[in-house]
Structure 1
Amino acid sequence: MSGTHKKLGARHKARKRAVDFLFEAEARDLDPVDLATERADMSGKDESVAPVAPYTVTVVTGVAENLDRIDAVISSHLQDWTLERLPAVDRAILRIAVWELFHATDVPPVVAVDEAVELAKQLSTDDSPGFVNGVLGQVVLVAPQVRSAAAATSRRAEPGSDEPEDPRS
């Protein structure tokens, strides 16, 4: 539990903004990628619009492109609950963390989980951090196989994708 608060840097802010965009897009029935891209464009032209970090757009795009698979993974780890019954903010947090666990090779799994728990503490109910941690604790067990399979089937030109994975580094 201790130590997470000192890591709330640029990536944390980018994840929080991604949660905001996913939440808003779902609430307003908008495409999250269009929303994030539009805000990023607007922030360059209008000082009253907060800047959008490139990682925010990367995360939102990654979640949107893999949404069905991400939701299936989350749903399979919910036991007696459904994805639709979760608070929308928890859905967004879990979607981002699962995307990072499966696709963000430069984000160690423990960081993806810790960040999700931290976001749940900041943005959701008192029960959410433990719930998010429990779900992701199960997902993290299958993440290495998913990453390996994804790496074998699709070599994308993403930052850090050529670096060897070492979960202990």
Structure 2
Amino acid sequence: MSARSKARKRALDVLFSAELRDEQLVEALERVMTDGPAPTNDYTGVLVRGVADHLAEIDELLTRFSKDWSLKRMPTVDRNVLRLGVFELVFSEEIPDQVAVSEAVELVRDLSTDDSPTFVSGVLSAILRDKPVVGG
């Protein structure tokens, strides 16, 4: 597993725990950094802070592109993996689009339901197809 893949997994852990604890994302990141071993890859913080900075826009995109699925209806893991994927697709120029999609799919393949990889791939692919519209 690459260093960036590990950072994504750690960022997902932070997003997931923040949601379960009803914490703000940056507060959850700070808690993780002070309570336990801090993330060794700075990219974890980039992801968590990026999602936090753009959460309303990210959730609006997810609502628009996830046909027949409300955010609350999505499994928690899927919702947060999608948030990371949308951040990388739309708001970060660091990661190639196809890498962002494939990394998100790999995360849910390992951590969520059997249907999750297809669902996550479909939502992110739809956003990617309309990226000039959503990012501009």
- TM-score range, shorter-chain basis? over 0.9
Is residue 10–residue 39 contact of structure 2 (8 Å, CA) maintained in 1? no
2 CA distance for matches of 1:85 and 1:52? 33
Matches within 5 A, 1:86-101: 86-101=74-89
Q: Which has the larger radius of gyration?
A: 1
Of 99, 122, 126, 1:134 maps to: 122
Bigger proportion of residues as helix: 2
Unaligned runs of 5+ in 1: 1-7, 44-48, 150-169
Q: TM-score, normalised by structure 2?
A: 0.93
The answer for the alignment partner of 2:7 in structure 1 is 14
The answer for the alignment partner of 2:62 in structure 1 is 74
- Displacement over 4 Å in runs of 4+: none
Amino acid at match of 1:127: D
Following superposition, the deviation at residue 146 of structure 1 comes to 4.2
The answer for the alignment partner of 1:163 in structure 2 is none
2 CA distance for matches of 1:67 and 1:50? 23
Q: Which secondary structure does the structure 2 equivalent of 1:107 belong to? A: coil
Of 30, 35, 39, 2:32 maps to: 39
Cα-Cα RMSD:
1.5
1 CA distance for matches of 2:69 and 2:96? 28
Unaligned runs of 5+ in 2: none
Does 2:91 correspond to 1:103?
Answer: yes
The alignment covers a number of residue pairs equal to 136
Q: TM-score, normalised by structure 1?
A: 0.75
